[in-house]
C-alpha cells in the first residue's frame, strides 16, 4: 500500500507546469469496438497529477482519495492524448467512503480547451450516498464534425446528442472528444475532507451499427446541409412514424378519424368530470372542494373533476427562425419574403428572442412549420379542421383540459375546459434579475392598473364561460432566494416604489438611522441617502432577517392585489396562481394565502411526495411537466430525458399516477401538444416533448399511456385515497 501526498503550493506549480508539459500517456485509440481502459489496477501512477488530496493505492490497485481542505477543487488529474471520436462516454467505477452524501465532478479537457475561461471544457457530476458504489457514466458532447457544429446556432440540442448551455449559446470553443487531453475527477471544497475510491476509468465505444447509421455526423458542411426536409424533419435519419411524402401526411386523416371514434372514455361527463361519482352542488362554474381528505376541482355540473390536460394546443409551436440559417432548410421551405412559394404565407417577421443568437438583432424571419404542415394536410380550411381534430383528440385520449398558452379560438370552440392566462405589468424592480426578466414591482400604482387591464381584456370571452376553469397570472417569474427581492429593491433607483416602501418599513422599525446602522453594520448618513443611491445589503443576522421579512411583504402585496382583481372582475373564476418554477417557502406561503389553487411547473420523475408549506391548506395544480427522448429525429430530450418512446410513455403514466395519489394535487398539464421545431424556437428550445410531431402525427406509445391513465382518472384517485 502506497500513500501519495501533495501540498497546495506544490500543486499550484504542478498544475501550471502540467499545462505546458508533454502528456505522460501516449496517444490512445481503439479500432476493435472494445472498451478503452484509461485507468485500472495495472495503470502506473506516473500519469496522475494530484490536487490537494492524499492518495492511497490499495492492494487491489484501486485509488483511495482523501480530500484536503485548502484547494477549491481537490481531486486527481489523468493527462494524455486520447482519440475518443468513436466513443460514447467514459465510465468511472467509484465508491464513497464518506459519512456524508458527496457530489463528484469529472472535468474533461481537449487540445483546444482554454483552462482559464473553461471554453472547450466539459464537466459532469454524480451524487453518491455514504458507502454507495456506482458505475458513473460521464457523457461526452456528441460525435459531430466540428465544421458542421460551428454552423449550428440558436439550438439547445444538436445532432449527435450535443447540448448547449441553458441559454442556447455555444461555447466559444467546441469541445472535441477526438483530442481529449485530461480527465479530472474532483469534488468542490466543503471543508469536510471527504473520501472516495476510484477503481477504474474506461471509454465506452459507440456501437458499430450506430456508427454506420449516424455516418452523417462526420459529413462535411457541403454534404450535411440542408439538414431539414420540406416538412421540417431532420433529413439524414429515419425513424418509426416519420413522414416521407405528402401522400403519407394526408393518409393520416382517415386512419386517425377511425381510431379516435373507436376509443372514448366512459366515466366522463360533458366537462370531463366524474359522471359516475358523487353529485355535489352544481354552481355552473368550476370551484374547489376537499372530499375524504383529498382536494378536487368540481365542474359546473357538480361532479368531481381532476384536470388532466395539455398545454399549447395551438398551431404555431414549431415556429423557427430562418434568418441567417437559410441553408439549413430544404428549398421547398421559403426563407425570404421575396419567395414565390405558396407557403410564403407562413413566414413572419419577429423580434421576440430570449437568451440566444437573435437577441438584439432587430427583426428576423420565422417560419411556422406547424401551420404549413396542417395546410398541406387539410387544405385551405386547415385551421377549422385542426381545431375540430384537437377537440376530438383530447376527448379520445382521456384529456379533459386545454392548458396554458393555447389558441384562443380552440378554447372558445372546443367545448373542453380550459385555463386562461394573463400577465401582470407595470414597472419592474430594477435591481432584480431572472431568466425571463426582472420581477414586477407590486408597490407601483401601475401594477394594479395593469393587472385589471389584462383581466378586462379577457373578461368578455372567459368570465361567464362555464368551460373556463380560471386564470393563471404570470409564469415562472423570478422569485429568487428568500430575501432577494428586498435586497434588489435597495439596489434600485430612488424612484423605485418597492425601494420607497422598504425604506419606510425599515424606518418604522428602527426609527433613527443610527440604530439601523448599528444593527446592519452600515454607515448610511440618512434615510434619504439610502434612497438616493443603490444600497448594498450586507450579510448578517439583522440584514438577513429584515430582507426575509420584507421579501414576504413583497410576495403578499403581489398575490393580494391579483387575487382581489380576479375575484372582482371575474367572480366565478378561480385564481390559479403564477406557475412557480423557481421559488422558496416565503413566496409559496404567500401564494397559499391568496390563490384559490397554487400552481407549479414541476419537471420531475414523480410528484407524489409534494407537500404545501405548513399553515394554509390549498389545492395545487401542476402547470407543466414533460419527458422526451432522442429516437424520433429531434436533438434534445427536454428537461427530463428518457431512453426511448417506451420509457417516455412509462414516465408519463407514472408521473400522472403519482399526482393522482397526492391529496393536494387537482390536476397536471403536459407541456406541450406538439414538438418544438428541430431548429429551435425563439429561445433555442428544440425539445421532443410533444404528444404529436411536427407533421401532426401522434406519438402512439405516449398516447397509449395517456389513455391508460386518463380513462381511469377517478378510479385511480379513489383507489389511492382508500390506501392513505
Residues 605 and 692 in one domain: yes
Residues 101 and 217 in one domain: yes
101 pLDDT higher than 50: yes
Displacement of CA 127 from its chain's centroid (Å): 20
Residue 599's DSSP bridge partners are 621
Q: Name the percent of the chain lying above pLDDT 70.
A: 94
- Cα–Cα dist 230/233, whole Å: 7
The three-state (H, E, C) secondary structure of 104-132, written as one string: EEEEEEECCCCCCCCCCEEEEEEEECCCC
| Structural domain that includes position 475 | 422-578
28 pLDDT higher than 70: no
What number is the average pLDDT over the span 148-158?
Answer: 92
Task: Please identify, among 578, 598, 627, the residue that sits at the C-terminal boundary of a domain.
Answer: 578
Residues 50 and 164 in one domain: yes
Residues 546 and 607 in one domain: no
Task: Please identify, among 578, 607, 633, the residue that sits at the C-terminal boundary of a domain.
Answer: 578
Decide if 677 is inside a domain.
yes
Residues 428 and 482 in one domain: yes
Alpha helices per DSSP H over 511-633 = 513-520, 527-532, 541-569, 585-594
pLDDT confidence band for 392 (50 / 70 / 90): very high
User: Do you find a cis peptide bond into 516, omega within 30 degrees of 0?
Assistant: no
Residues 99 and 216 in one domain: yes
25 pLDDT higher than 70: no
Residues 513 and 623 in one domain: no
Task: Please identify, among 578, 610, 642, the residue that sits at the C-terminal boundary of a domain.
Answer: 578
pLDDT confidence band for 171 (50 / 70 / 90): low
Which residue has better confidence, 317 or 47?
317
What number is the average pLDDT over the span 411-436?
Answer: 93
Q: Name the percent of the chain lying above pLDDT 90.
A: 84
Decide if 232 is inside a domain.
no
Q: Nine-digit cell at 5?
A: 501526498
Decide if 459 is inside a domain.
yes
| pLDDT for the residue 724 | 65
Instruction: Name the 3-class secondary structure at 186.
Output: strand
pLDDT confidence band for 704 (50 / 70 / 90): very high
- Cα–Cα dist 680/686, whole Å: 4
Q: What angle do CA 83, 239, 392 make, to 5 degrees?
A: 140
Residues 569 and 599 in one domain: no
42 pLDDT higher than 50: yes
41's CB contacts (< 8 A; 6+ apart) are 60, 61, 62, 199, 200
Q: What angle do CA 393, 650, 155 make, to 5 degrees?
A: 75
For CA atoms 513, 433, 446, 576, give the dihedral sign.
Answer: negative
Decide if 584 is inside a domain.
no
Decide if 238 is inside a domain.
no
Decide if 229 is inside a domain.
no
What number is the average pLDDT over the span 110-125?
Answer: 88
What number is the average pLDDT over the span 218-227?
Answer: 97
Q: Are strands 287-291 and 133-139 parallel, antiparallel or unpaired?
A: unpaired
Instruction: Name the 3-class secondary structure at 632.
Output: coil
What number is the average pLDDT over the span 131-139?
Answer: 93
CATH code of residue 715 = 3.20.20.80
pLDDT by residue (tens digit) across 183-214? 999 999 999 999 999 999 999 998 888 889 99
Decide if 609 is inside a domain.
yes
| pLDDT for the residue 14 | 34
pLDDT by residue (tens digit) across 573-589? 999 999 999 899 999 99
Query: Count of domains in the chain?
Result: 3
Tell me the whole-structure pTM to 2 decimals.
Answer: 0.86
| pLDDT for the residue 169 | 57
Distances (CA, A) of 707 to 28, 266, 269, 321, 656: 51, 12, 16, 34, 11
CATH code of residue 157 = 2.60.120.430
Decide if 236 is inside a domain.
no
Residues 58 and 181 in one domain: yes
pLDDT by residue (tens digit) across 228-272? 999 999 999 999 999 999 999 999 999 999 999 999 999 999 999
Residues 489 and 597 in one domain: no
What number is the average pLDDT over the span 516-532?
Answer: 96
Residues 99 and 188 in one domain: yes
Residues 256 and 358 in one domain: yes
Which residue has better confidence, 17 or 516?
516
Q: Which residues of 73-91 are buried (b: 16+ CB within 10 A; e: fewer)?
A: ebbbbbbbbbbbbbbbbbb
371 pLDDT higher than 80: yes
Amino acid at each position: 500500500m502506497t500513500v501519495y501526498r501533495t501540498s497546495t503550493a506544490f500543486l499550484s506549480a504542478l498544475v501550471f507546469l502540467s499545462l505546458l508539459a508533454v502528456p505522460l500517456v501516449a496517444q490512445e485509440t481503439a479500432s476493435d469496438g472494445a472498451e478503452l481502459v484509461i485507468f485500472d489496477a495495472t495503470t502506473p501512477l506516473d500519469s496522475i497529477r494530484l490536487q490537494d488530496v492524499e492518495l492511497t493505492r490499495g492492494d487491489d490497485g484501486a485509488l483511495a482519495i482523501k480530500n484536503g481542505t485548502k484547494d477549491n477543487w481537490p481531486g486527481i488529474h489523468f493527462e494524455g492524448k486520447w482519440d475518443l471520436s468513436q466513443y460514447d462516454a467514459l465510465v468511472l467505477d467509484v465508491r464513497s467512503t464518506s459519512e456524508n452524501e458527496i457530489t463528484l465532478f469529472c472535468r474533461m479537457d481537449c487540445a483546444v480547451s482554454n483552462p482559464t475561461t473553461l471554453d472547450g471544457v466539459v464537466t459532469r457530476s454524480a451524487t453518491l450516498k455514504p458507502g454507495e458504489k456506482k458505475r458513473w457514466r460521464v457523457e461526452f458532447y456528441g460525435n459531430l464534425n466540428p465544421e458542421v457544429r460551428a454552423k449550428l446556432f440558436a439550438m439547445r440540442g444538436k445532432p449527435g446528442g450535443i447540448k448547449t448551455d441553458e441559454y442556447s449559446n455555444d461555447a466559444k470553443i467546441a469541445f472535441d472528444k477526438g483530442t481529449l487531453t485530461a480527465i479530472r475527477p474532483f469534488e468542490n471544497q466543503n471543508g469536510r475532507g471527504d473520501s472516495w475510491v476510484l477503481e477504474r476509468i474506461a471509454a465506452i465505444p459507440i456501437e458499430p451499427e450506430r456508427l454506420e447509421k449516424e455516418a452523417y455526423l462526420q459529413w462535411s458542411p457541403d454534404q450535411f446541409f440542408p439538414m431539414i426536409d420540406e416538412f421540417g424533419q431532420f433529413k439524414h435519419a429515419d425513424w418509426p412514424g416519420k413522414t416521407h411524402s405528402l401522400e403519407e401526411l394526408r393518409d393520416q386523416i382517415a386512419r386517425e378519424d377511425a381510431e379516435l371514434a373507436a376509443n372514448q372514455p366512459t366515466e366522463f361527463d360533458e366537462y370531463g368530470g366524474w359522471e359516475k361519482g358523487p353529485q355535489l352542488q352544481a354552481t355552473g362554474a368550476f370551484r374547489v372542494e376537499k372530499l375524504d381528505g383529498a382536494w378536487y376541482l368540481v365542474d359546473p355540473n357538480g361532479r368531481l373533476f381532476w384536470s388532466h390536460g395539455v398545454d399549447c394546443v395551438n398551431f404555431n409551436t414549431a415556429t423557427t427562425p430562418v434568418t441567417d440559417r437559410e441553408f439549413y432548410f430544404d428549398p421547398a421551405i421559403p426563407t425570404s419574403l421575396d419567395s414565390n412559394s405558396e407557403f410564403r404565407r407562413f413566414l413572419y417577421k419577429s423580434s421576440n428572442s430570449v437568451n440566444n443568437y437573435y437577441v438584439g438583432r432587430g427583426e428576423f424571419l420565422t417560419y411556422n412549420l406547424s401551420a404549413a404542415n396542417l395546410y398541406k394536410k387539410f387544405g385551405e380550411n386547415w385551421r377549422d379542421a385542426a381545431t375540430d381534430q384537437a377537440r376530438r383528440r383530447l376527448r379520445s385520449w382521456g384529456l379533459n383540459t386545454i392548458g396554458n398558452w393555447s389558441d384562443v379560438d380552440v378554447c372558445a370552440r372546443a367545448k373542453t375546459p380550459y385555463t386562461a392566462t394573463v400577465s401582470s405589468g407595470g414597472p419592474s424592480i430594477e435591481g432584480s434579475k431572472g431568466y425571463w426578466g426582472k420581477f414586477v414591482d407590486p408597490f407601483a400604482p401601475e401594477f394594479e392598473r395593469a393587472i385589471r387591464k389584462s383581466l378586462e381584456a379577457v373578461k368578455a370571452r372567459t368570465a361567464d364561460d362555464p368551460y373556463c376553469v380560471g386564470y393563471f397570472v404570470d409564469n415562472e417569474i423570478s422569485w429568487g432566494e428568500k430575501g432577494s427581492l428586498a435586497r434588489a429593491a435597495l439596489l434600485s433607483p430612488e424612484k423605485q416604489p418597492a425601494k420607497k416602501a422598504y425604506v419606510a418599513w425599515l424606518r418604522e422599525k428602527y426609527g433613527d438611522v443610527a440604530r439601523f446602522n448599528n444593527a446592519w453594520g452600515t454607515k448610511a448618513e440618512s434615510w434619504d441617502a439610502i434612497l438616493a443611491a443603490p444600497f448594498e445589503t450586507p450579510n448578517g443576522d439583522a440584514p438577513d432577517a429584515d430582507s426575509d421579512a420584507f421579501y414576504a411583504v413583497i410576495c403578499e402585496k403581489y398575490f393580494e392585489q391579483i387575487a382581489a382583481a380576479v375575484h372582482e372582475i371575474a367572480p366565478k373564476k378561480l385564481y390559479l396562481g403564477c406557475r412557480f418554477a423557481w421559488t422558496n417557502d416565503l413566496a409559496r406561503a404567500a401564494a397559499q394565502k391568496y390563490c384559490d389553487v397554487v400552481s407549479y411547473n414541476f419537471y420531475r420523475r414523480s410528484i407524489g411526495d409534494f407537500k404545501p408549506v405548513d399553515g394554509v391548506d390549498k389545492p395545487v395544480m401542476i402547470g407543466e411537466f414533460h419527458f422526451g427522448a432522442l429516437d424520433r429525429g429531434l436533438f434534445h430530450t427536454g428537461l427530463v430525458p428518457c431512453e426511448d418512446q417506451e420509457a417516455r410513455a412509462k414516465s408519463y403514466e407514472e408521473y400522472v399516477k403519482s399526482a393522482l395519489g397526492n391529496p393536494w394535487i387537482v390536476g397536471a398539464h403536459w407541456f406541450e401538444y406538439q414538438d418544438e421545431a428541430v431548429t429551435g424556437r425563439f429561445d433555442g428550445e428544440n425539445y421532443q416533448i410533444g404528444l404529436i410531431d411536427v407533421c401532426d402525427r401522434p406519438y402512439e406509445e405516449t398516447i397509449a399511456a395517456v389513455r391508460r391513465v386518463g380513462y381511469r382518472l377517478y378510479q385511480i384517485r379513489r383507489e389511492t385515497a382508500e390506501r392513505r
